[in-house]
Amino acid sequence: MRAIIMCGGKGTRIAAMEASVPKPMIRLCGKPVLEHQLEWLKRQGIEEAVLVTGHLGHVIRDYFGDGSGILADSGEASGIRLRYFEESEPLGTAGALYYFREDQTEDFLLMNGDLIVDVDLHRFLDAHRRYGGLATILTHPNSHPYDSGIVETDGHGLVTGWLSKEDERGWYQNRVNAGLHLMSPGIFDELRERGMFLQPRKLDLDRDVLKPMIPGRRLFAYDSPEYVKDMGTPERYRLVEQDMNEGRVGARNLSKPQKAVFLDRDGTINEFRGLIRKTEDLVLLPGVGAAIRRLNESGYLVIVVTNQPVIARGEVTPEELRMIHNRMETLLGRQGAYVDAIYYCPHHPHSGYAGEIAELKKDCDCRKPKPGMLLAAADDYHIDLKESWMVGDSSRDIEAGRAAGCRSAGVGGCTGGDMTCADLTEFTDRLLGTEGSKQ
């Protein structure tokens, strides 16, 4: 598979740090950002990359040449074939694709040149081929969704909407485009049909190429908690450099075991108000946003696992539950926090409710205190359950964690776990060592 890397941007926001080189050549931990990318691609089995250059492109060509000097993990030169396409005039983030329309016959990776990435590309490619669309974008949560474009999906990968920064929005799922795109060669036929490839022209990848695929159900999203961050501003540069120095970049690759904090919802994240049936009834508990933000920064995945019998009882539809969860994600995002995934059990074993959904009235394996949701998440995200925690305010949470092989912590008066805390703030303090390790 080939990678096409867009390296032509001027990087005006970060130019003050090193104005004499293009943005992908700014050094991070001793190497140009682009060199980190090429080493990652080589580790993932990519043997050829096309570098689309523009501003100061000769600096890139002079440094990398044909790519034979790219190092393997062993420190020996292993090489990756490099080709160059130099834009004589700026073609935007997708215009250069015009020049690959005839010779690109296989799936390919299109990525931005200012990213630090460590993603299991094999998982990403498997998802792309399973979806069967023309393009699959990698999405992830971030700590500032309120000023980011938001990608909306149907919960099964199909992209159903895309909110730009300036669009009016209500409650939304915290998922943004990370800047990695897997594309099928059929995308060139799609662009020809839209009259995009009659001649070279400036194109915006999001606005002109990807968003118009949504009505035709040809755009999908692969959601991943793996490390993808741009270093396009001095502040982001410093954060990425810190993450690299502390080993967080490689640790998030899903080929490696992850550790997670599983959180119950009602009474742990939001105020307990019985069964929540209305979006406005979800109110975050004090301190929860700050606690989850610290867990995000620590390297733990944060995954919500919640029983939602209101679905089986016919009191809330799946779409209404999604809006409740979107409110939770929006409120957390305003505090710089996010959850990596939400799992819910829609079942209920008891009958007799008006409007109940018969096929959901059963004794399942996912309803806590059974561990099904935790086990599903562990499979999806390669989680080492022995290094993970289940946190909740009821004995069902403690039992589910124990059954899954996790350690467990009770909050809000719940006892019986490996740790008993007043709330999520105290749990986070103790887990991360700010108040010692005694239990």
How far apart (Å, rounded) are the C-alpha atoms in residues 123 and 224?
10
The answer to whether the beta carbons of residues 34 and 27 sit under 8 Å apart is no
Buried b (16+ CB within 10 A) or exposed e, 218-257: bbbbbbbbbbbbbbbeeebbeebeebbeeebbebbbbeee
Is residue 31 classed as helix, strand or coil in its secondary structure? strand
Token pair, residue 109, equals 């990776």
Rg (CA), the chain: 23
How far apart (Å, rounded) are the C-alpha atoms in residues 83 and 102?
16
How far apart (Å, rounded) are the C-alpha atoms in residues 111 and 114?
9
How far apart (Å, rounded) are the C-alpha atoms in residues 260 and 297?
12
Q: Which of 312, 309, 306 is nearest to 325 (CA)?
A: 306
- What is the CB neighbour count within 10 angstroms for residue 79? 16
40 Cβ neighbours under 8 A, 6+ residues apart: 117, 118, 119
Report the amino acid identity of residue 414. Answer: C
**Cα-based distances in Å from 354 to 275, 276, 377:** 16, 17, 32
- What is the CB neighbour count within 10 angstroms for residue 422? 10
420 Cβ neighbours under 8 A, 6+ residues apart: 409, 410, 414, 439
How far apart (Å, rounded) are the C-alpha atoms in residues 129 and 136?
9
Active-site positions read 264, 266
For 135: left if phi > 0, alpha if psi spans -120 to 50, otherwise beta; the answer is beta
Q: Which of 248, 96, 72, 101 is nearest to 185 (CA)?
A: 101
Token pair, residue 346, equals 């829609």
How far apart (Å, rounded) are the C-alpha atoms in residues 120 and 383?
14
